Structure 1
Amino acid sequence: MTTTPWEELVTSALLGTDRRPPALPTGDGAAGPDAGGPAAAPVDPPLALLDAAARHTVRRRAGLLPASAAPLPPPAPHDGRTPLPGAAARRLAQLLADRPSAGGGRRGSAPDLTELLPQWLAAANAHGYRAPAPALPALLDAARARTDLRPQALAFAGPRALWLAGLNPEWRFALRGAPGGAALPAPDDVPGVRALWEEGLFAERVALLGAVRAHDPAAALDLLASTWADERAEDRLMFLDSLRAGLSDADEAFLERALTDRSRNVRSTAAELLSALPGSAFAGRMAGRAASCVGLDHTGDRATLTVEAPHECDAAMQRDGVVPQPPSGRGERSWWLGQLVEAAPLTLWPDRLGGRTPEEIVALPVADDWRDELHAAWCRAAVRQRDAAWARALLGAPSAPPATGPGAASSAALLATLPDGERAAWVAAFVAAHGLSEAFQLLGVCTVPWSGELGRTVVDALDIAREAGSYPWSFSGVMGLAERCLDPAEADRLEVLTAASDEPEDAAPGAGGYWSEAFQRLVATLRLRAAMHAELAPPRA
């Protein structure tokens, strides 16, 4: 095997000219003693190597032939949506250019633009605007970095972003079937649907299943059933989870078959979905088991709920999705009981317990310290079955001590089943009675912008905390929510809170300055949000 002159030069450079003197090419203009001229000057090997490499590089470049031109990419598709107004386009560029702060230090009084981008995108999509072409690369970069932005960012970016994504491997995520991602065939395009279902990427198939299900639920089930046996367990789980949207009695037969799946997670998800169908045979089986565990005792002065938890988790229970092995630190019988009660239809209990209403049932005493376990299972059932009446009963009065309620996480989940106005009113009353220390999760489920009553209650509670000299950073989470969720019209009313106040003697050092900065940032953010919405508003005819 022979080596080229260039490879020989590279070898000399790597090993060193002392160990491998360069084999210099002849005819490079170096005069030697046989040339009839004066004796040549001594050659410095490193310099000679570099000179030879330079000459060889010029030769190689001069000998290159032009490559064949690559085919041009297809033209970008047309996007017929309304162009974004100029002021809104400039605001978008500002939001995309901002970067999240690196640490958890003092934020100052300037608004956090990165937290406003999701809200801006949602408003722009609601108006049906198309993204400016120069902003598409930055939008795709933002969506790649933040998965929470992807649905809104890709929907706003539109078909031209997909065209760009096909030209840049870093943006290929946009082609994988996420909302706003790869263009799907029409739900009634049977050959196109079948081809993508059999050949597409997993996320494309998930998106396709959702699109077909929204158009024709029966066709979606047929599509899923056609390849169900050959799917991987993790894919079956995701496909099954997509049936939550539009779940109906027509899905019962398929879900019953999924109860025998070889994957425990698939079986559990099928059982959960079936329990959300109160008329299903599964719900009837669970109702029978749960009814045998909970009853009324009339022997005392007051009716009391009695609980007899299951003594075993038999094969039939396991087939219906009951997990036999409890988590660490949890008793087996209480674990089995909770699964039975949460899967049983809530319509069982009024008939089972003497015609009582949910409020009356929840108020009954429970024997032998089973109350917390029973109520927690009812909370999960109310959330799963979207039962507002039971949610109200389990939440109780907002003025009741939080320790007697279902806990912050369960309360937030229960609140999500209530209408928007009722939810906001309940949380406002809770904050007015107990302050903000346990309200963060509850505020997070309220509709944006907050109602006037809720917004005023939150601001009053923040003002009370400031006047009391509380640590302002303890309320940074609530303050961040207020920046994103308060009605922007509240900015002028809050201006008075931006001034630095006198600190009580027992206040945290520097608390007054921190509070002033926080309220300045709140007011500035609300005004910025108001400007954003004004810039996005369509011009009046």
Structure 2
Amino acid sequence: MVDGGVGVGSWDDLVGSALLGTERRRPVGVVGDAEEAAVALLDAAASGVVRRRAGVRPGVAGERPPVAPADRRPELPEAARRRLGMLLVDRTADAARGRRGSAPNLAELLPQWLAAARREGFAAPPALLPALLDAARARTDLRADALALAGPRGLWLAALNADWKFALRAGQGAVQATDGDVRTLWEEGLFAERIALLTRLRLADPAAALALLDGSWRTERAEDRLMFLDALRTGLSAADEEFLEQALSDRSRNVRTTAAELLSALPRSALAARMAERARSCVSLGPDGITVEAPYACDPAMERDGVAAKAPSGRGERAWWLGQLVDSAPLSAWPDRFGGRSPEEIVALPVLDDWQSDLHAAWCRAAVRQRDAGWARALLGPPPKPAAPVTAVGDPAKLLSVLPAAERAEWVARFIAANGLSEAFQMLGVCAVPWTRPLGRAVVDALDIAREGGSYPWSFSGVMGLAERCLDPDAVEQVAVLSAAAEEPPDGSPGASTYWSEAFQRLTGTMRLRAVMLAELRGTPPGDGNPGTAGTPGIPGAPGTP
């Protein structure tokens, strides 16, 4: 009990007694045995809370947040809105599972849904904006499409919650601000905010972004200068040449190397001309083929233009210098050097003294850097025949990325038909989505051949994952016939048939669900004009599912 004749102690006294116990520390005014003292302490604390709250003066009301901006884009169809809610709720469910079985991977369907909704130009439902921003915060691969779908209201909401600050850095808000706001953010913002501002400004106004960077360039740290310079890849043009030429004299070797790389991507730049002159002096056409005389030294002028003097371990210095000269020279310099020959004719010429791999590898890097489809086509050549090695020296996937989408898909389809999937994963990753019918058919046929051959299904899990995201839903019937369990091959892996059946069932279910999702976004009944959407038993939320 509380002694009525003695004042109750301070709030700190009550807190101390609660932490230590009334047997060890009894507050002022609390009397009785241990049990009575504990009850009295709680009564005193209750009274103290009332006194503390009664004595608080009202705070000054904060400024009311601005009204959310209007989003004039069309609303999602009701079925698509429900689908988005389901995907956002289930986005982390698959990560906690072990063996996936035959159920579609909903976590991987969310990025596909967001990309499709962005293409259709819809606005996100206001009620789902918090969950959408949480998903974008957790997965950076979702951010571009999620923030585009969230639109101006998503940025407005992100400004009210510190957990969603990434949206303000990645969104268009910084670019749409006034010149004074942009300058303040550039001078006072965090590095991530500044790099995002520069990248976004390069999309909207490359010249203004370059002027902003030029104004503070000399005061930036070397590591920051490197990242800012890398951001100039967006919107790179001849207008950046003067700035990049000055960066060739930077005190940081990494900055100099990046500036030289960017200049070499501008075929008409002065650096490209200097590199072309050096490369032509090393490579010429003789009576028996191409002759190469690699540099014997790396002079200061070469180093200033981005040539690294020290070769990696196991690489000859002369070959290292030659490769850098050739891959930085504009490809347009070579037809004149070789008597007006086309890229295909140049690549077909013999290269003497075992220099062919070094020379062709440098041309491959130049074709990718300069986005030259003619040279990429020539260096790739036709798809190799079965059991024959890939003729391109370098990364065929990077060369394929330079070609038009249809040609890229046709080349990969022919490669898979002849050689299977063992070397095709990276090539499939650069093909446009959804895959063309010939490419999709080639992938499914190759998977079926691997199953019949008794191969481990886990060896093709990466290709299966790509197929779930990239196969055209119209090809679902071709996949569905493979989902039935087959007999185990005598020399196959134990249990492989069951795993293959589950994988094809999962692929079938995913494709049908993707078809339903697209139909919902377009507001068309599932199955109209799309045989792959008719009847989707067992898929949550699909027609025909209880």
**TM-score, normalised relative to structure 1:** 0.88
- The CA distance in 2 between the partners of 1:244 and 1:11, in whole Å, is 62
- The CA distance in 2 between the partners of 1:95 and 1:160, in whole Å, is 21
1:25 maps to which residue?
29
Alignment check: 8 A CA contact 2:22 2:38 kept: no
Instruction: Please tell me whether residue 7 in structure 1 is matched to residue 7 in structure 2.
Output: no
Q: Percent identity?
A: 64
Mapping of residues 38-77 of structure 1, within 5 Å? 43-44=33-34, 47-63=35-51, 64-65=53-54, 67-68=58-59, 70-71=61-62, 72-77=64-69
Q: 1:161 aligns with which of 149, 154, 157?
A: 154
2:320 maps to which residue?
335
Q: 1:130 aligns with which of 123, 127, 136?
A: 123
Once the two structures are superposed, residues 264-299 of structure 1 have per-residue CA deviations (whole angstroms, 9 ceiling, x without a partner) of 22211111111111121101111122122223342x
Deviation at 1:422, TM superposition (A): 0.6
- The CA distance in 1 between the partners of 2:352 and 2:176, in whole Å, is 58
- The CA distance in 2 between the partners of 1:78 and 1:4, in whole Å, is 56
What stretches of structure 1 of length at least 5 have no aligned partner? Answer: 31-42
- The CA distance in 1 between the partners of 2:384 and 2:363, in whole Å, is 21
1:121 maps to which residue?
114
Instruction: Please tell me whether residue 284 in structure 1 is matched to residue 273 in structure 2.
Output: yes
> Which range moves more in the overlay, 424-433 or 192-201?
192-201
- The CA distance in 1 between the partners of 2:204 and 2:277, in whole Å, is 36
- The CA distance in 2 between the partners of 1:195 and 1:11, in whole Å, is 48
Alignment check: 8 A CA contact 1:154 1:181 kept: no
Alignment check: 8 A CA contact 2:397 2:430 kept: yes
Distance of aligned partners of 1:190 and 1:8 in 2 relative to their CA distance in 1, 3 Å threshold: closer
SS in 2 for 1:130: coil
- The CA distance in 1 between the partners of 2:389 and 2:275, in whole Å, is 30
Mapping of residues 462-481 of structure 1, within 5 Å? 462-481=447-466
Deviation at 1:342, TM superposition (A): 0.7
- The CA distance in 1 between the partners of 2:42 and 2:482, in whole Å, is 71
Instruction: Please tell me whether residue 182 in structure 1 is matched to residue 173 in structure 2.
Output: yes
Once the two structures are superposed, residues 214-262 of structure 1 have per-residue CA deviations (whole angstroms, 9 ceiling, x without a partner) of 4544333333222222223233223322322332222211111111112
Alignment check: 8 A CA contact 1:293 1:308 kept: yes
Alignment check: 8 A CA contact 1:286 1:340 kept: yes
Mapping of residues 371-382 of structure 1, within 5 Å? 371-382=356-367
Q: 2:255 aligns with which of 266, 286, 290?
A: 266
2:84 maps to which residue?
92
- The CA distance in 1 between the partners of 2:208 and 2:162, in whole Å, is 34
Distance of aligned partners of 1:213 and 1:58 in 2 relative to their CA distance in 1, 3 Å threshold: closer
> Which range moves more in the overlay, 54-63 or 64-73?
64-73
1:39 maps to which residue?
none
Deviation at 1:392, TM superposition (A): 1.0
1:40 maps to which residue?
none
Q: 1:390 aligns with which of 362, 372, 375?
A: 375
Q: 2:210 aligns with which of 201, 213, 221?
A: 221
Deviation at 1:173, TM superposition (A): 1.4
Instruction: Please tell me whether residue 403 in structure 1 is matched to residue 394 in structure 2.
Output: no
Deviation at 1:107, TM superposition (A): 1.7
1:411 partner amino acid = P
1:286 partner amino acid = M
Alignment check: 8 A CA contact 2:410 2:439 kept: yes
What stretches of structure 2 of length at least 5 have no aligned partner? Answer: 1-7, 526-546
- The CA distance in 1 between the partners of 2:95 and 2:203, in whole Å, is 42
Deviation at 1:309, TM superposition (A): 2.4
Alignment check: 8 A CA contact 1:322 1:340 kept: yes
- The CA distance in 2 between the partners of 1:193 and 1:228, in whole Å, is 16
Deviation at 1:208, TM superposition (A): 4.1
Distance of aligned partners of 1:48 and 1:321 in 2 relative to their CA distance in 1, 3 Å threshold: farther
- The CA distance in 2 between the partners of 1:211 and 1:7, in whole Å, is 53
Alignment check: 8 A CA contact 1:82 1:128 kept: yes
Q: 2:424 aligns with which of 430, 439, 452?
A: 439
1:232 maps to which residue?
221
Distance of aligned partners of 1:21 and 1:253 in 2 relative to their CA distance in 1, 3 Å threshold: closer
Instruction: Please tell me whether residue 352 in structure 1 is matched to residue 364 in structure 2.
Output: no
Deviation at 1:521, TM superposition (A): 0.9
Once the two structures are superposed, residues 54-77 of structure 1 have per-residue CA deviations (whole angstroms, 9 ceiling, x without a partner) of 022111111112543743433333
Distance of aligned partners of 1:312 and 1:306 in 2 relative to their CA distance in 1, 3 Å threshold: same
- The CA distance in 1 between the partners of 2:294 and 2:218, in whole Å, is 36
Deviation at 1:13, TM superposition (A): 5.6
- The CA distance in 2 between the partners of 1:183 and 1:292, in whole Å, is 49
2:480 partner amino acid = E
SS in 1 for 2:291: strand
Q: 1:309 aligns with which of 272, 278, 294?
A: 294
Distance of aligned partners of 1:103 and 1:311 in 2 relative to their CA distance in 1, 3 Å threshold: farther
Q: 2:240 aligns with which of 246, 251, 276?
A: 251
Alignment check: 8 A CA contact 2:384 2:390 kept: no
Alignment check: 8 A CA contact 1:24 1:49 kept: no
Alignment check: 8 A CA contact 1:83 1:129 kept: yes
Instruction: Please tell me whether residue 453 in structure 1 is matched to residue 446 in structure 2.
Output: no
Once the two structures are superposed, residues 395-422 of structure 1 have per-residue CA deviations (whole angstroms, 9 ceiling, x without a partner) of 1210245634236x71010001101111
**TM-score, normalised relative to structure 2:** 0.87
Deviation at 1:17, TM superposition (A): 6.1
Alignment check: 8 A CA contact 2:323 2:358 kept: yes
Distance of aligned partners of 1:183 and 1:538 in 2 relative to their CA distance in 1, 3 Å threshold: farther
Deviation at 1:329, TM superposition (A): 3.2
Deviation at 1:351, TM superposition (A): 2.0
Deviation at 1:320, TM superposition (A): 0.6
Aligned length: 512
Distance of aligned partners of 1:171 and 1:191 in 2 relative to their CA distance in 1, 3 Å threshold: closer
SS in 2 for 1:82: coil
Alignment check: 8 A CA contact 2:291 2:351 kept: yes
Alignment check: 8 A CA contact 1:185 1:192 kept: no
Q: CA RMSD in A?
A: 2.5
SS in 2 for 1:164: helix
